[in-house]
Structure 1
Amino acid sequence: MNPPAPLVRRLILSDYRSYASTRCEFDARLVALSGENGAGKTNVLEALSLFSPGRGLRRAELAECARRDGAGGFAVSLELESDGASTQLGHGLTQEGERQFRIERAPVSSARAFADHLRVLWLTPAMDGLFNGPAGERRRFLDRLALGVDADHGARVNKLERALRNRNRLLEEGVSDKRWLDAAEQEIAALGVAVAAARRETVSRLSALIVAGESVFPWADISIEGEIENMLAEAPALAVEERFRETLSQTRRRDAAAGRTLTGPQTSDLAVRHGPKGEAARDCSTGEQKALLMGLTLAHARLVAKMTVKAPLLLLDEVAAHFDPKRREALFHELEALGGQIWMTGADPFLFASLEGRAEMLHVTPGRIERRG
C-alpha cells in the first residue's frame, strides 16, 4: 500500500518570473506541462521547488524570481490536500527584499516548516553532468538526498559552511588568542561529524533500498569518499569528533597557507558506479548516465516515502525526451507506482500522449497555463 501523498490542488503565481497572475487547479497525480522552449514550464517547477529549504532547482537569487516588469516582489501560494484535509502554503519575496513563508496564512520562520506537510524532490537537465562535474556538485546532490529524509540537514550544512568561513578568516588574520580558534574548531568538529553521519546514513539506507528494489533503469552503486565519513565507519561519533578537532588544531599552519580548511566533510565526494556494468558512472555514455540518474532519483523518492510516511512531490524537468518510447512508458508506470504527485515538463506534447486520461495535460504559453484540449 502506498503511503499517503500530498496533492497540490491549486497553485497561484503572482509576479513570479513570466507570470503576472496565474491560478490553476489540479485533480490528477500526474501533471504534464508542455509548451515551446521559454514558455515558462520550468518556472512553474521552480516555484514549487521553493517549498523546500534552499534556493530551488535553479539555485537562483530570489530577486531573479520576481517578474521583470512587476513591482519587485513575488508570491506563490498552493492548496495542499493530504489525508482528506487541505492546507494553504505560501512563500514569496516582498518589494523590500524580505523572504516570507506562511502556513494557513500565518507566518513561519523558514521553508523548513513546509517539510511537515510535503517533501519536494527534483531532476533537471542541469544535473545531466553530475557524474562528470566537480565534486562540489555531487556533494550538493548528496545533501539534497539527505535533506529529503532529514529536514534539518540543510540547516546543519549551512552552519558548517559559516563555521568554516569563520575559521578561515581567523587563520587569515593570524589571531593571537588561540581560544577563538579552539572554539571555532570545536564547532566545526561537532557540525562536521553530524553532517557526515547524516550523509552516511542516507547513502546506507538508499543503497539497501536500491538492492531490494526493481526498476527498468540501471541500479546505482553509491558510496561516500571522505575522511570523516571513513572514520565514522570505524569509531563512535564522539571519538571521531575529538579526532577531527585535534586534526584541525594540528593543521592550522597548512590551512592558513592554503586559504581554506583542507580536512572535513566539505571535501567529501559521492562515488557512483553503474551497478550492472560495474563501471564508474563518469565513464559511462551520456544515455547511460541519464538512465542511471533517473533510477537513482526514483529510488530516492521511494526512500523518502518510506522514511517520512509521505510520498514526495517529484518535479521532472524535460525528462521524457531522454528516453525511447518503450523506456518512456516504463518510466510513467514507475512514476504512477510511487503514489506521489509528479510534475513533468516537455516541449513536445506527443511525449505525454500515452498519459491521456491518466494525467493532467496542460499547455503553457508565456504567462498562461491552460488545459490542453
Structure 2
Amino acid sequence: MHVRRLELRDVRSYEQVRLDLPAGVCVLIGPNAQGKTNLLEAVQRAATGSSHRVAGDGPLVRAGAEVGVIRLEVETDEGRRRTLELELGSGRRTRTKVDGHDVRRAAEALGVLRVVLFAPEDVAIVRGDPAERRRFLDELLAQRRPAFAAARSEYERALRQRNQLLKQARSLPPSAREAATATLDVWTEQLVQHGTQLIAARLAAVRTLAGPVDRFYRDLADRPEPVGLTYRSSAGDLADVGAGVVPDPAPIAAAMREALARAAGDELARGVSLVGPHRDDLELHIGTLPARGYSSHGEAWSLALALKLATFEVLADVGDRPVVLLDDVFAELDAIRRKRLAAACERFDQVLVTAAVEEDVPLQGAKVDVRIEDGRSSVSPRAGGAT
C-alpha cells in the first residue's frame, strides 16, 4: 500500500500543507527543526492511533490553533482508494473519519493504513525499560490484528479496577476485607481472561519475529552473532506453551491464576497487581549477552532497526504491506550500514525518509525540501517528484 496524499491543517509547525506522494522512495530534506519529522509523525498518528513523540494529541495542534486536522488518502495493495481523517484538539476527544464516515472508537480506524516507523527514540526498545519493549509488541499487534487493541483496553480497565480494590483493601479492617476480597476475585478473573489473550498474542508475535529480526540484524550489522528474543512472563516460564507459532491459551491462564495466588499476600500488602502482561518483558540477546546492558551504540542501533524492519514482514504476512517511515536514520549509520539499509528498502512499496543532508541517503526517488518560513513549515517538491 502507499500514501497518495497527506494534508495537514494547524498540525505542529504546519498551518496548511498538501503533499502528493508517489510510490517508492520519497526523501524529505532540510536542516534540523524545520518540520520533517512532523510529517512522519502525522502519518504514524493517523495509522496507529498514537504519536512516537508525545502521549496525547494536544501537542500536535499548532500553537495558537484550537483544532488540528490530519487527512490521508491511501491506496491499498488491491488498488482500493481510502481516506483517513483526524480532528485533533487540546482537551477534546479526537474525531476520526474513515472513508468520510465518523467512527465511534479510534480503534476502528486501525488497519486502514499500516506503517512501520523507525526514529532515534526507538533505540530505547533495546536499551530502555521493559515498558518500551511491551509497547513495541503491542503497537505491532494492534496493527496486525486491530481486535488486539480492544483486548488491551479491556485488560487495562480490569487492571485499574483491581489495583483500586487492592489499595482500598490494604486500609480496611480485617472484618471488612472478606467482602472486598470477593469483589477482588471478580476482577482477578477478568485480569486472567484478558491478560491471557495479550500474553498469547505477544508470544505468537515474538515467535514470528525471531527469524526476521535475526536475518535483518546480520545483514545490517554484518556480524556473525545470532540474535535471540525471549518473552519473560511474570506468570512463569511459558517458553514451551503450545506447539508452533500460536500458543495454547489454557496453560497461560492456569499459570496466571497460580502466580496470582502465590502473589496474593504481597499484592494486598503493596496495593498493586504484581502478575500480568503489564509486568512482562521481551529479552533481547546478541550472542550470549543481553543487549540491554552489553550492546554497543552501533549494535543497539542495528538491533532496534532490525526489530522495526522485521515488523514489516510480520504485518505484510496478514493484510496490506505497510509504508516504511525512516526518521533521520541514515545519519547515524556508517557507509556500509547505509548501503545495507538502502538494499533492504528496495523490497518496500513506499519509503518516506527524513534527512538533514541529502548525501547521507543512498536511495533513488522523489525529493522534497522542507523549511521554516515566517515561523511555519513549508514543503517544496522538486521537479519530477512529489507534488
- Per the normalisation by structure 2, the TM-score is 0.86
- Who is 2:323 aligned against? 313
C-alpha spacing 1:8/1:53, structure 2 compared with 1 (3 Å): closer
Residue 127 of structure 1 aligns to a residue whose secondary structure is helix
Return the offset for 1:254.
1.4
Kindly provide the CA deviation profile for residues 311-353 of structure 1, in whole angstroms up to 9, marking residues without a partner as x.
112221110111122321221121121x33211112112213x
Q: Write the letter of the residue equivalent to 2:333.
A: F
Kindly provide the CA deviation profile for residues 172-220 of structure 1, in whole angstroms up to 9, marking residues without a partner as x.
1125523321110010001111100000000111114446779622463
- Who is 1:370 aligned against? 380
Match of residue 200, structure 1, among 176, 200, 203? 203
Q: How many residues were matched structurally?
A: 360
Return the offset for 1:151.
2.0
C-alpha spacing 1:108/1:232, structure 2 compared with 1 (3 Å): farther
Pair 1:336-2:331 in alignment: no
Distance 1:212 1:96 in 2: 44
C-alpha spacing 1:247/1:76, structure 2 compared with 1 (3 Å): same
Kindly provide the CA deviation profile for residues 260-317 of structure 1, in whole angstroms up to 9, marking residues without a partner as x.
111122111111112xx44321202101110121122212212211232x21122211
1:257-272 to structure 2, matched below 5 A, reads: 257-272=269-284
C-alpha spacing 1:243/1:128, structure 2 compared with 1 (3 Å): closer
- Who is 1:3 aligned against? none
Return the offset for 1:243.
4.5
Pair 1:78-2:72 in alignment: yes
Return the offset for 1:156.
2.0
Distance 1:25 1:79 in 2: 9
- Who is 1:191 aligned against? 194
Match of residue 360, structure 2, among 331, 351, 358? 351
Kindly provide the CA deviation profile for residues 105-132 of structure 1, in whole angstroms up to 9, marking residues without a partner as x.
1111334333343212211111223322
Return the offset for 1:360.
1.7
Return the offset for 1:142.
2.2
More off after superposition, 263-272 vs 323-332: 323-332
Pair 1:279-2:289 in alignment: yes
Q: Write the letter of the residue equivalent to 1:296.
A: L
Kindly provide the CA deviation profile for residues 148-185 of structure 1, in whole angstroms up to 9, marking residues without a partner as x.
42222233223222211211111111255233211100
Distance 2:255 2:22 in 1: 54
CA contact (8 A) 1:220 1:295 kept: no
- Who is 1:108 aligned against? 103
Return the offset for 1:39.
0.7
Distance 1:137 1:94 in 2: 26
RMSD: 2.3
- Who is 1:256 aligned against? 268
Residue 32 of structure 2 aligns to a residue whose secondary structure is coil
Distance 1:312 1:57 in 2: 17
CA contact (8 A) 1:76 1:92 kept: yes
Distance 2:49 2:83 in 1: 20
C-alpha spacing 1:229/1:110, structure 2 compared with 1 (3 Å): farther
- Who is 2:300 aligned against? 289
How much identity, in percent, do the aligned residues show?
28
CA contact (8 A) 1:168 1:256 kept: no
CA contact (8 A) 2:167 2:272 kept: no
Pair 1:230-2:240 in alignment: no
CA contact (8 A) 1:67 1:74 kept: yes
More off after superposition, 343-352 vs 194-203: 343-352
**Gapped regions of structure 2 (runs ≥ 5):** 170-176, 243-247
Q: Write the letter of the residue equivalent to 1:224.
A: Y
CA contact (8 A) 1:22 1:369 kept: yes
- Who is 2:334 aligned against? 324
Match of residue 125, structure 1, among 110, 113, 120? 120
Distance 1:161 1:232 in 2: 24
Distance 2:305 2:114 in 1: 18
Kindly provide the CA deviation profile for residues 87-107 of structure 1, in whole angstroms up to 9, marking residues without a partner as x.
121112257612111112111
- Who is 1:182 aligned against? 185
- Per the normalisation by structure 1, the TM-score is 0.89
CA contact (8 A) 2:47 2:112 kept: no
CA contact (8 A) 1:89 1:102 kept: yes
CA contact (8 A) 2:192 2:256 kept: yes
C-alpha spacing 1:12/1:131, structure 2 compared with 1 (3 Å): same
C-alpha spacing 1:85/1:164, structure 2 compared with 1 (3 Å): closer
- Who is 2:245 aligned against? none
C-alpha spacing 1:247/1:334, structure 2 compared with 1 (3 Å): closer
Pair 1:302-2:302 in alignment: no
